[in-house]
Amino acid sequence: MKSLLNFFNSVKLAIFLLIIITLVSMLGSLIPQHRSLDEYVARYGQFAHLLNQLQLTKLYQSLWFIALLCLFALNIIVCTLTRLSPKLRKALHPKLEMESKEITVLKIKGEFKKNIGLDTAKKELKKELRSRHYRLKEVERENKTFLLARKKILGWFGADVVHIGILIILAGGIISGAGGFRKDLTFKERDIRGIPGAEFKLRLDKFETEYYPNGSVKDWKSTLTVIENEKPILSKVIEVNHPLSYKGFVFYQSSYAWNWTNTSVGIWVRKRKDPSFLRKIDVTVGKKVRLESENIHISVLHFIPDFVINERNEVTSRSLQPNNPAAFIEGWEGDEKIMSGWVFSKFPDFARIHSEKETDLSFELKNFKADQLSVIQAAKDPGVNFIWVGCTFLMIGLALAFYWPTREIKVILEESQGKTEVIAGGIASKSREALQSEFEKIMTSLRRLR
Amino acid sequence: MNESTLFLATFILYVISAFYYFSFLFSKRANLAKIGFSFAFVGLFIHTIALVLRTFESGHAPFTNMYESLSFFAWSSILAYIIIELKYKIKRAGPYFMLIVIALMALASSPLMPKEATPLVPALQSYWLWLHVSVTLLGEAFFAVAFITSIMYLVADSKKGKGIKSGLSAEKLDSVSYKCIAIGFPLFTLGALVFGMIWAYYAWGRFWSWDPKETWSLITWFVFALYLHTRIVMGWKGRRSAYVAIIGFLAALFTYFGVNYLLAGLHSYV
């Protein structure tokens, strides 16, 4: 038990673990995480299965990585606790009596003897120290007075506060990983959806995409309403960076998708021999419209957002994004089909229209209209408050450790034969030069006493 | 006056500053270093105006693409150097440090970096953009100063071994490196990790995703944590400390550039 405690109490172990965790994290950043086995086989060949078995493909969630972090946490806990209690004792109940040689070994020190009373010297000394915000403790023994002046004592605990912060963050991470939940929900406008594990439902009232003048997306905005017991409770417009929080759940504007079930397309029809001829028609997929002043009907049979021909020579959509929109159109003269074929919005010259009958009509797919779906991420993260508390500790601790240097001044005043001997020394946890100059000033003011 | 003219003016001022600093190094005339410092200072001033103009021209924080962030990093580096120089008088580090700044400015002006301001993608429309990026890069700027003083330490230390005295003592360089890291580490922790986690939570819905950029900023943080622990608890000083500080800055550089070009992830902006 004791040896185990010593094992975890070592800074060497901490440094070893820091190096190991650093190297392992590097490894994890080089291997893409959470991909499909096929992807790993394509990338690493026969090593793919080995990577999988060693959990290197989900390294940061793997048992051994978490075990490593727990070991590190244990190391920090033991190191912090064993160092904390002597430090607390020193801060709260310091030893006041001391030998003069304990002072004379210090790097900042001074001593002199002067023809003044001990009380006069002590009074001046205390005044000087207090004006510099030192807190004083003193004890008298026979003809000696021991004085301990300290300030910014919290600086001693900076590193401990940092370590406690890190432990809280690690705990938060574990709680998030174990108890957190995250799910993407796809909403049409006016959809109402239940949230797993919640007693309320969510309704999407409105979804809009805003664009910059150059056509790139400026923002997605979803108006969400929380519905509890069939009653609307609150509504909020969420956008990226501005989620909705309700009863421990947070709803994020995660992305958007297209609903291609009810698409309508805009088609421009021209005649090759008559440049003045132009008809713009809007037609819903599956419907037929008449071409104005012509005895021709146009129908759109299919709309494909991301047209591609696969290896089996079939037309299919590579994705649900409108990367290569295409429409399959037919032209009818009465009951007779006179033409059919694909038109592409990005490749107007590539239209493949097979005419069964002589015609000089040409078609362009100009635009399309489809509903956009809002993808909302519902998340519950019970660890997140630990993270914020931990971060606060971390930053306060760092500020204390680096910018709140503890200063101590120890003084022994001894009266003998009407003279007072002053032996004083100072200890600074950082910026010794600053304490040195402060110390000199205090000593000078004592020497000036008459 | 537009931003690109001011950027060019700044670049020229930094080059002149480096020229004077190097003349100081070879002639040992201290007033040349003073002139170099003045040019760097004026450069910083013009650079500040350039960044403010950029902010007004683009309507957002001046660090949303590689060109902007390199320019901002150069600005933070000069700021960090001026602070350290005023406080600890390390003018001999000036010439070498100006080389880093010139490299950053040259990289920013290279034709590979698109310079036009583009509108912000939805994920970047947040005031956390200001806090997260500026504080992180300022922290890394202090790591850059520590990087230079650590390399100079290694050189001074090996010279000392041969009995040659160098302009800045090895002890001083070692202590200045530590002081830079004492400033840079809290800034980096706050900007990269704390502000980064807060922003990630609001933008992506999770405070930590083990995205390569996040992982590498944690790795950078670990290296500097290692620097502090080996130094404060185990009493490492000198050569070994200098090596850790150098590795730390290289890790920060990899987080900044390498991750973008070599590893794919969520952090696809800069």
pLDDT in tens, A291-322: 877 888 899 999 999 998 888 888 888 888 88
Q: Which of residues 399-438 of A touch B (CB under 8 A)?
A: 399, 402-403
The reported pLDDT for the residue numbered A364 is: 87
Tokens 């605990």 -> residue:
A157
Contact: A18, B229; criterion CB under 8 Å = yes
Other residues' Cβ atoms within 10 Å of the Cβ of residue B124: 19
Query: What distance in Å separates the CA atoms of residue B117 and residue A264, rounded to the nearest whole number?
Result: 35
Note the pLDDT of residue A19.
Answer: 95
Structure tokens at B208: 């930590």
CA-CA distances (angstroms) from residue A415 to A110, A115, A118, B49?
17, 10, 6, 65
pLDDT band at A14 (very low <50, low <70, confident <90, very high): very high
Is A398 at the interface with chain B, CB within 8 A? yes
Q: Classify each residue of A224-250 as buried b or exposed e, where b means 16 or more C-beta atoms within 10 Å of its C-beta.
A: bbbbeeeeeeeeeebbbbbbbebeebb
State the helix-helix crossing angle for A11-30 and B212-232, rounded to 10 degrees. 160
pTM, rounded to two decimals: 0.88
Cα B194 to Cα B50: distance, rounded to the nearest angstrom: 29
Q: A309 in contact with B at a CB cutoff of 8 Å?
A: no
Cβ contact, residue pair A384, B126, below 8 Å: no
With H, G, I as helix, E, B as strand and everything else as coil, classify residue A293.
coil
Please state, as a whole number, how many other Cβ atoms lie within 10 Å of the Cβ of residue A135: 12
Query: Dihedral of the CA atoms B88, B89, B93, B97 (nearest 10)?
Result: 70
Of all residues in chain B, the one with the smallest CA distance to A220 is: B122
A438: three-class secondary structure by DSSP: helix
Mean per-residue pLDDT, A92-109: 90
B residues 201..230 contacting A (CB < 8 A):
201-208, 210, 212, 215-216, 218-219, 222-223, 225-226, 229-230
From B111, B115, B113, B121, select the one nearest B203 (Cα to Cα).
B121
Quote the tokens at residue A370: 């489809």
Q: What is the pLDDT of residues A66-98, one digit of tens each?
A: 999 999 999 999 999 998 999 999 999 999 888
A212 touches chain B (CB under 8 A): yes
* Cβ <8 Å between A240 and B198: no
Report d(CA B53, CA B49) in Å as an integer.
6
Q: Give B158 to chain A, closest Cα distance, Å.
A: 27
**Interchain proximity A216–B194, CB inside 8 Å:** no
Q: Whole-angstrom Cα distance, residue A37 to residue B54?
A: 46
Q: Tell me what the mean pLDDT of segment A131-154 comes to.
A: 92
Give the Cα separation of A352 and B90 in Å (integer).
73
Q: What would the 3-class secondary structure string for chain B be?
A: CCHHHHHHHHHHHHHHHHHHHHHHHHHCCHHHHHHHHHHHHHHHHHHHHHHHHHHHHHCCCCCCCHHHHHHHHHHHHHHHHHHHHHHHCCHHHHHHHHHHHHHHHHHHHCCCCCCCCCCCCHHHCCCHHHHHHHHHHHHHHHHHHHHHHHHHHHHHHHHHHCCCCCCCCHHHHHHHHHHHHHHHHHHHHHHHHHHHHHHHHHHCCCCCCCCHHHHHHHHHHHHHHHHHHHHHCCCCCCHHHHHHHHHHHHHHHHHHHHHHHHCCCCCCCC
- Residue A275, token pair as written in the block: 């440049």
Contact A19 B185 (CB under 8 A): no
pLDDT tens for B49-66 read: 999 999 998 889 999 988
Give the A window 318-337 contacts with B, CB below 8 Å: none
- B216 Cα to chain A: minimum distance (Å): 7
Pairwise CB contact (< 8 Å): A387 & B182: no
Of A14, A18, A29, the CB nearest to B215: A29
Query: Are residues A280 and A272 in contact, defined by beta-carbon separation less than 8 angstroms?
Result: no
**Residue A371, pLDDT score:** 83
> Which residues of chain A have a CB within 8 Å of the CB of B65?
none
Kindly give, in sequence order, each residue whose CB lies less than 8 Å from that of residue B224, ignoring residues fewer than 6 positions away.
B143, B181, B184, B185, B188, B245, B248
Angle A97-A101-A103 from CA coordinates, rounded to 5°: 70
Check CB contact of B234 with chain A, cutoff 8 Å.
yes
Tell whether A396 is within 8 A of chain B (Cβ).
Answer: no
Pairing of strands A361-380, A249-271: antiparallel
Is the pLDDT reported for residue A360 higher than 80?
Answer: no
pLDDT > 80? residue A356: no
Would you say A206 and A223 are in contact if contact means Cβ atoms under 8 Å apart?
yes
> Could A25 and B230 be called an inter-chain contact, meaning their C-beta atoms sit closer than 8 Å?
no
Q: CA–CA distance from A285 to each of A48, A328, A363 (Å)?
A: 45, 9, 16
Q: Return all residues near A39 (Cβ < 8 A) that are at least 6 apart.
A: A32
In this predicted model, what pLDDT tens digit does every residue of A236-265 receive, in sequence order?
999 999 999 999 999 999 888 888 888 999
> Around A35, how many Cα atoms within 13 Å sit in the side-chain half-sphere?
18
For A349-363, what is the mean pLDDT? 78
Q: If contacts are CB pairs under 8 Å, which of residues 106-165 in chain B contact chain A?
A: 118-119, 121-123, 125-126, 128
- What is the side-by-side strand order in the sheet with A200-211? A192-194, A200-211, A217-228, A231-239
- Is A379's CB within 8 Å of B205's CB? yes
Task: Give pLDDT tens digits for A23-70.
Answer: 999 999 998 888 888 888 888 888 888 988 889 999 999 999 999 999
- pLDDT for residue A310: 85
Question: In one letter, which amino acid is B86?
Answer: L
Q: Which residues on chain A are in Cβ contact (under 8 Å) with B263?
A: 29-30
- For B17-35, what is each residue's pLDDT tens digit? 999 999 999 998 889 999 9
pLDDT, tens digit, 9 for 90 and up, residues A211-232: 888 888 899 999 999 999 999 9
Tell me if A222 sits within 8 A of B127, measured CB to CB.
no
Chain A residues with beta carbon closer than 8 angstroms to that of B218: 25
What is the average per-residue pLDDT within A446-450?
83
- A25 vs B: CB within 8 A: yes
Q: Tell me which residue in B186, B233, B263 faces A29 most closely, judged by beta carbons.
A: B263
The full length of chain B comes to: 270
Average pLDDT over residues A155-168: 96
Q: Is A112 on the interface with B (CB under 8 A)?
A: no
Contact B205/A32, CB-based, under 8 Å? no
| Positions in chain B short of pLDDT 70 | 166, 264-270
Give the residue from A18, A22, A433 with the most B CB atoms within 10 Å of its CB, the best one to mutate: A22
